Structure 1
């Protein structure tokens, strides 16, 4: 049996049914291009004619010249009607999509309860609809809705549904675990039985994650004979989500030896998963397998010591195979190995036997005892290590700042920040407004520095989080502020801690600007900082 697997992505249709997921037509087109680059064979775009976004998508997607087949989604003709007169089927044909996903009932309970028709009429609805789409030149993927529940309740009828779809000319017969309640061993047994009874049919699998088994059920189906897998990127979908293609693809290809995408495309998997997360504006879980930020992160000193000798000791694959990378987390649990690994990652000479290494470990432990957390603030950690290593040159120093917050009679609130810095011996004083204290500080600090460092104009604050550390102290509690910043090339995180949220925010902001300038220095010649300092002193 062939080891080639057809990847069917339904992020743009089934994925958008997930809570909090909403995609514009532009969003859908961007994601479609990214999925095509990954090597998806089918990209389901939506329901033609159901809304203006999907109408626009099917109209504009032709301009992308995708390698993947664009798929339109719809259901079988209505009971007691004629397929050629069904508006839904006509819209699927008129969409210009190369393929159609046609969903039909395969559970007799649904036929009687939801469709309120006979079992025979349901079979006719399936046959007529598929035959009509085939007559109009479309490839047809038949999704047998609630197939596994239907098979367990009435196996003869569920199988008759697939047989009828096959007779009508369906190119793929896809078994759906629509309620997500089937177990992996059940999936394997049922798909194996269908593989034997329909030897010439191309079988597929579509699972949901209500029992946290969508990926496992998909793998079971493939091992039993299914050759198309349907899912969404990052597992987006209704209720608990769909099967996660970001896990399915590497599991099938790297673990089980199936052919899903090219090796080069596989190395784009992490990038694609995170890109889709950004466009969908849904935070990706850091512990998501394969593509998550913590998928190959190591914190315990014993673990880190081992992976420095051989990464296979605590990593099940080489992270780069899926475009991810190994990370060493530095915290109060860290040993010397963590610091050495982090320094090596930064390209720094670091003697593990030196007192310097022990001093940094102790400083990190002390700071984390105060409430700092560097696991999610790599930029602050890098500044700390470079400073201890004598690798940092201060381009500006803080003198003072003050804040004003005014609430007007019209209920508008305006924040104004005043910042005083020393840049290479020159005192710089600026003021700026913002829609909140932190935004005002950010604007004032940028205003003070951008005249000396123009690249900072491309940097902006992209996320801001506050965590109360001592809840029992109420409003006097110490807080930790985590700031995410971006420029045209990178994203980084910095941290600040204080009893005063403005002070904590200021600390994280200053770290962010220092890191941005450090990255600019590292991209240029080694003496760029000294040159810049010399130029500033003569300003």
Structure 2
């Protein structure tokens, strides 16, 4: 078993496309097939089912034209059927040279779906294999529902394999069609087959109905399997197939004696492309490829990483073309902030770092994620607050905006312990707020500075829930100055910037 090579066959374009709502275009199929073979270095790609549609035929033909020009002809496979040669003719017209022939791997399927005897089924299979050989098409055979076959009709499976061992077949493909196997069953069944048929090349095809596909893949490899069928992002019917990223990481980390050709550093790139083409979003916590799986959120974890990478495991993000990040939010500690500041090339003294950390925690209570790109805005906001003593507070406000009515604002303001309430309308919510504030200051016989510029910005690359920074330029008879406000709501940003102005004057 030392340095045993396992073949990886990707079936994203065939079985993965059976994910509900997914249909790749011909150009998308070609692009994915090219990346799987040339970027990820999978050994084989199953790209389609024969006879499905004219669109599928055109996609397969385009892939085969490319494969023939680039030496991949025998690494492209198509699912075919026991149909008196109809699939074979379809493949010949498309230029396909490898068929994965779908047959019945359990007595239950044979009896109730085909309503035939084993001998009848085998005779028809032999005819299809012979016809394929005459046309220089290589044959692999799927034993559909093989897992239930091993559970409930093992004698039939052995009878079938005895027959196949006498045929011109390159590989026997063992699908857990309904995703019912436990890891111990997977090991025992494959170990039994490898012992009984040492000269047959067996592939294992796992489904994920009980979320056991990766565990079953691990046990299949331990039991001596020769090849694995995987899909990018675990796409597939129902709960999907065994996910490529997880299976590859498990094999590389826990079975060092087993070799696979797949290039780990390209996994994430291909994963994101398939996400885009399929429209099926990758869960944020999906191992290896999820957005959050290399993000430390708790401050104690960032602190441990600073001291001796205490919260690292062997799944280093760089292996998969990714980077570790340190989330900013209500569970952040100083270490999270410091990690992000280091990436931005910034450094704060302890006092300012504490203030920024507290501000991040406050914002995190209101907003799920604070990004690294938000940090300069937060720092600016916090350091601005050191320039004045807070004597004026906007305690509460109600802003309304309704179609056909002028926006209005009702505000409550405390000025050196004295409380005021006013209401006003305006051309917008912030204008209404400022008009109400002017009424308050008129009672104090004071005039507010003139607003001469108002800019709102978010960090580059942010989403719609990003932190906003409002920068307002004010002008008095003697000077002009700027104040900043920070919040996830644009109008609230402006109100916070205005409160700073009120304290400065």
Quickly name the TM-score band, shorter chain normalised: 0.7 to 0.9
Residue 314 of structure 2: aligned partner: 316
Residue 245 of structure 1: aligned partner: 244
Residue 510 of structure 1: aligned partner: none
Unmatched tracts of structure 1, length 5 or more: 78-82, 391-401, 407-416, 430-444, 450-455, 465-480, 484-494, 508-539
Distance 2:453 2:346 in 1: 33
Q: Choose the corresponding residue for 2:61, options 54, 59, 62.
A: 59
C-alpha RMSD over aligned residues:
3.2
Residue 305 of structure 1: aligned partner: 303
- State the number of aligned residues: 412
Distance 1:67 1:249 in 2: 25
TM-score normalised by structure 2 residue count: 0.74
TM-score normalised by structure 1 residue count: 0.70
What per-residue deviation string (whole Å, max 9, x for no partner) do you get for residues 1-26 of structure 1? 35211111111111111123221112
1:104 is paired with a residue of what secondary structure? strand
2:272 is paired with a residue of what secondary structure? helix
Residue 34 of structure 1: aligned partner: 35
CA 129–301 in structure 1, closer or farther in 2 if over 3 Å, else same: same
Residue correspondence of structure 1 range 176-325 to structure 2 within 5 A: 176-257=175-256, 258-261=258-261, 265-311=263-309, 313-325=311-323
Residue correspondence of structure 1 range 495-514 to structure 2 within 5 A: 497-498=488-489, 503=491
CA 117–282 in structure 1, closer or farther in 2 if over 3 Å, else same: same
CA 170–389 in structure 1, closer or farther in 2 if over 3 Å, else same: farther
Residue 387 of structure 2: aligned partner: none
2:199 is paired with a residue of what secondary structure? coil
Distance 1:193 1:227 in 2: 14
CA 29–151 in structure 1, closer or farther in 2 if over 3 Å, else same: same
Judge conservation of contact 1:374–1:381 (CA < 8 Å) in 2: no
Q: Report the Cα offset of residue 187 of structure 1.
A: 0.6
Judge conservation of contact 1:296–1:315 (CA < 8 Å) in 2: no
2:246 is paired with a residue of what secondary structure? helix
Residue correspondence of structure 1 range 132-151 to structure 2 within 5 A: 132-151=131-150
Residue correspondence of structure 1 range 135-174 to structure 2 within 5 A: 135-174=134-173
Residue 19 of structure 2: aligned partner: 18
1:366 is paired with a residue of what secondary structure? helix
Unmatched tracts of structure 2, length 5 or more: 385-399, 405-427, 432-450, 468-485, 495-505
CA 342–482 in structure 1, closer or farther in 2 if over 3 Å, else same: closer
Residue 43 of structure 1: aligned partner: 45
Distance 2:138 2:491 in 1: 62
CA 383–194 in structure 1, closer or farther in 2 if over 3 Å, else same: farther
Rg bigger for which structure?
A: 2
Q: Report the Cα offset of residue 281 of structure 1.
A: 1.5
CA 137–383 in structure 1, closer or farther in 2 if over 3 Å, else same: farther
Q: Report the Cα offset of residue 383 of structure 1.
A: 4.2
Q: Choose the corresponding residue for 1:74, options 80, 96, 109.
A: 80
What per-residue deviation string (whole Å, max 9, x for no partner) do you get for residues 370-417 of structure 1? x12225x44334643577689xxxxxxxxxxx99979xxxxxxxxxx9
Distance 1:118 1:217 in 2: 31
Judge conservation of contact 2:328–2:364 (CA < 8 Å) in 1: no
1:212 is paired with a residue of what secondary structure? coil
CA 135–312 in structure 1, closer or farther in 2 if over 3 Å, else same: farther
Residue 354 of structure 2: aligned partner: 358
Residue 520 of structure 1: aligned partner: none
Judge conservation of contact 2:329–2:361 (CA < 8 Å) in 1: yes
Judge conservation of contact 2:79–2:99 (CA < 8 Å) in 1: yes
CA 405–228 in structure 1, closer or farther in 2 if over 3 Å, else same: farther
Distance 1:389 1:26 in 2: 53
For the pair 1:379 / 2:398, whether they are aligned, the reply is no
Distance 2:7 2:175 in 1: 16
